[in-house]
Structure 1
Amino acid sequence: MDISARSDYAVRAMLALAAAQDDTPAQKARPVSVDRLAQAQDLPVKFLEAIVADLRRAELVASRRGARGGYLLARPADEIAVGDVIRAVDGPLAEVRGLRPHDTAYDGEAEHLPALWVATRAALRTVLDGTTLDQLRHGAWSAEVAELLRQPDAWESR
């Protein structure tokens, strides 16, 4: 899986928003400007503006106008999955040549390949939909993710 810069930047910006709202009642949370988000995570401002617009359209962030305007998480960080953020900026988690894995079909020796693509998507969902922004901020992994991280070769390149 190739994680795009859009997805990486979107998750990092959402984590910065979560940190800004941490331990603050929703009605008193202060919006964060795109400039501050970009500075907090060393991200390009113009690129981040487009990403935040996608997150707003996906109803993951809310915007406030004015001199003290900016962005806030639309829901608590423990209710937003990392998979939701990635889908908002990059679309489906897994595609095969622009098709959903379950829409692929092959003949002959490759006839079972769609099942592998579906299983790959399911594995991505387990990790990305099973991890909230709050869990990610605190390293509080689900049992499934913690088990994957403990595998001997998890941190090795192949």
Structure 2
Amino acid sequence: MRVSAKSDYALRALIEMAGRTDGHPVSAEELGRQQNIPHGFLQSILADLRRASVVVSQRGQSGGWRMARPASDVSVADVIRAVDGPLVSVYGVRPEAVEYNDSAEVLQHVWIAARRSLRDVFENVSIQQLADGKLPAAVTSRTADEDAWQPH
């Protein structure tokens, strides 16, 4: 899987929002400055997140962006889907919709299994957990294996 800059920036912006203890909206300019995200790109990301009901904008002097629902209710998977679409696709098609001939049909099972593995992590990590720096044991156990850190 390749994590896009869009997904990475979206997650970083949401971590920044969730980590604020004052509960006040934060401007896109401040989010961009805090996380080193280009302003125009961040505006596009925030619009995607708003359409997915992950964030809301507030206009006015004390306006800005805030989470639309508790950060504990927003998963990494929710964010990736909001800005990039399905977790796994095969040339832009969901894996269950890809058609193969008999000899290559087994590939579909590989794509489905990969999606399931990603879901096991991405759907079980919330923005609040990221903001708190406390990942679920099922995730941290996957990083405890030294081989997980090795490029292959």
Specify the alignment match of 2:17 in structure 1: 17
SS of structure 2 residue aligned to 1:123: helix
Match among 102, 107, 115 for residue 121 of structure 1 = 115
d(CA) in 1 for partners of 2:18, 2:133: 14
Is 2:39 the counterpart of 1:40? no
Q: Which residue identity lines up with residue 51 of structure 1 in the other structure?
A: I
The TM-score with structure 1 as length reference comes to 0.91
Specify the alignment match of 2:68 in structure 1: 74
d(CA) in 2 for partners of 1:139, 1:156: 22
d(CA) in 1 for partners of 2:137, 2:100: 35
What is the count of residue pairs matched by the alignment? Answer: 152
Q: Which residue identity lines up with residue 97 of structure 1 in the other structure?
A: Y
- Pick 1 or 2: higher relative contact order, CA cutoff 8 A, min separation 6: 2
Match among 64, 70, 74 for residue 58 of structure 2 = 64
d(CA) in 2 for partners of 1:31, 1:97: 38
How large is the Cα RMSD of the aligned pairs? 1.2
> How do 1:139-150 residues align onto structure 2 when only pairs under 5 Å count?
139-150=133-144
Q: Which residue identity lines up with residue 153 of structure 1 in the other structure?
A: D
The TM-score with structure 2 as length reference comes to 0.95
d(CA) in 2 for partners of 1:46, 1:3: 20
> Structure 1 unaligned runs (5+)?
none
d(CA) in 2 for partners of 1:60, 1:52: 9
Specify the alignment match of 1:84 in structure 2: 78
Specify the alignment match of 1:105 in structure 2: 99
d(CA) in 1 for partners of 2:146, 2:104: 31
Specify the alignment match of 1:55 in structure 2: 49
d(CA) in 2 for partners of 1:141, 1:19: 15
**Overall identity of the aligned pairs, in %:** 45
Runs of 4+ in 1 over 3 A off after TM superposition: none
The offset of 1:114, in angstroms, is 0.4
The offset of 1:128, in angstroms, is 0.7
